[in-house]
Amino acid sequence: MAGSDIRLNKTVQNYYSTGMFGPYTAPELDADMNQFTVYASLVYKNKSGWNVEGGGRWNKHSEYGDNFSFTFNPSYQVSRKVKTYVNVYSAYKVPTLYQLYDPFAGNNTLQPEKALVGEAGVSIAPTTSLSIRLTGFYSRTKNIILYTYDPLNFTSLYQNASLQKNHGAELEWSFRKKGWLVNGNYTFTDGKTTAGFDGTGTPVGKDTSYFNLYHIPKHALNVELGYQFTKALLVKTSIRLVSKREEFVYGSSPAPLKAYTTIDLYGEYRVGKAFRFFADLRNLGDVKYMDVLGYNARGMNVAGGVRFEF
């Protein structure tokens, strides 16, 4: 497969405000940029179990010149029950027009983000009823763009950090047999950024590393357990566990978000092939938690009804 595309971006912005200090008009923002791309991808398969996909992408950008990115995704079917796979690819992301030229936070010296990402894993199906997949991942991004705000001077600015590193692993499983179904996944995620400034943009003398995966839990577990009592009746429950998280607060230390566990219950009853009566109970314990600081998530709620299929 091969192809090309052209992307054109243009923005025209005007800002006017009035208040106790009088009217203010920001300079008009009128900027544009474009990018021409050529890409190609090849897939190779053989009878011994190998499957390899590789591709490349060349970009010609009006502001940042030439760039090349690639993908390389081999997999090997060890046996009917075991498959291994690796995904390696690079990524390239230029700053947006807003990040470059916004009158309040724009920075026309920003450099493009460049990333290298790798994944590796194994998929196992020991029986027709059970499947398990384990994947590890790692990413390394140079010049990652961060938004900073200085509460002392009331100024904001987009800046390039030196480096962002993320890593983690995900375990997934699925089991179905004799009416039982058990699905789930567990994810571990960690990372840090290295920059010569803190979250307010204040220089710290030299590159300093700190955790910055705000809102993202290090540990997350989802489990679904169900039973098909008859061809018509299905009941299942879902459990979600999320570890504590942090949220960045401008001008202050990161605020902690508490860990939480929620339980849902779902049931349905089929009448023929067309009708399905259902009841869906969410957050049975009416757990109070926040995914975003200051905004409580939905408490206990119940929904029910009938679905008609034709």
Average pLDDT over residues 64-72: 95
pLDDT at 14: 81
Average pLDDT over residues 212-224: 92
Greater confidence (205 vs 150) lies with 150
pLDDT at 21: 75
Instruction: Give me the residue spans of the domains in the chain.
Output: 2-213, 226-310
DSSP 99: H
pLDDT at 200: 61
Q: What residues pair up with 234 in beta bridges, in sequence order?
A: 228, 268
How confident is the prediction for the chain on average, in pLDDT?
91
pLDDT at 228: 96
Average pLDDT over residues 58-85: 95
Nearest to 237 by CA among 229, 225, 245: 225
Per-residue pLDDT at 38 exceeds 90: yes
* Band of residue 41 on the pLDDT scale cut at 50, 70, 90: very high
* Band of residue 173 on the pLDDT scale cut at 50, 70, 90: very high
Per-residue pLDDT at 197 exceeds 90: no
pLDDT per position as a tens digit, 92-114? 999 999 899 888 888 999 999 99
Average pLDDT over residues 235-246: 96
| CB-facing half-sphere around the CA of 195: CA atoms within 13 A | 24
pLDDT at 205: 65
Residue 299 neighbours by CB under 8 Å, 6+ apart: 283, 286, 287, 288
Q: Cα-atom radius of gyration of the chain, to the nearest Å?
A: 25
| Token duo for residue 52 | 């390899």
CA 113/CA 126 separation, integer angstroms: 42
Average pLDDT over residues 169-191: 97
* Band of residue 27 on the pLDDT scale cut at 50, 70, 90: confident
pTM more than 0.95: no
pLDDT per position as a tens digit, 139-159? 999 999 988 877 777 778 899
Nearest to 99 by CA among 64, 132, 75: 64
* Secondary-structure class of domain 2-213 per CATH: mainly beta
CA 191/CA 265 separation, integer angstroms: 34
Give the three-class secondary structure for 270.
strand
pLDDT at 22: 75
